[in-house]
Structure 1
Amino acid sequence: MAASNGHLPRTSAALREEIERTRADLATSVSALKVEVAEVTDWRQWVRKHPYACVGTAFLVGYLVGSRR
């Protein structure tokens, strides 16, 4: 017997299985997001990838701070 949305009604066991699968997918996604955020916010990684830009920025900031007497 089909439900009003055209799909067969799901059993409670099937729903539990889908919830567990969704929880596992969510946990994996959250873990991947944590790693990505840690990489993006790590200043050492920025210096490794863009050494000249970082040195130039540090020089510019030092100059601006030093010239504000």
Structure 2
Amino acid sequence: FTKKREYHAGIDFRAKRGTPVHAPADGTVRIADRKLGFGLLVELQHGRGFFPGKKNSVRYRTRFAHLSKIKVRR
């Protein structure tokens, strides 16, 4: 979007403006707001994976940034 290449541990997808975005899994909306560097952002927390209940389990989340509008509530 800024034409700059910067490392992040995510995958960027391009779509036409207004294309609906759907959650890849059940989760809780943690952020549904405008954030610096992301524009309109929705962040979902999906819970823990690999070893549920263990300290070393991984929390999964997805972020949807640079949206044209948000239709969810936190």
Q: Normalising by structure 1, report the TM-score.
A: 0.16
Q: 1 or 2 for the larger relative contact order (CA 8 Å, sep ≥6)?
A: 2
Q: Normalising by structure 2, report the TM-score.
A: 0.16
* Structure whose residues are more often strand by fraction: 2
Tell me which structure has the larger Cα radius of gyration. Answer: 1
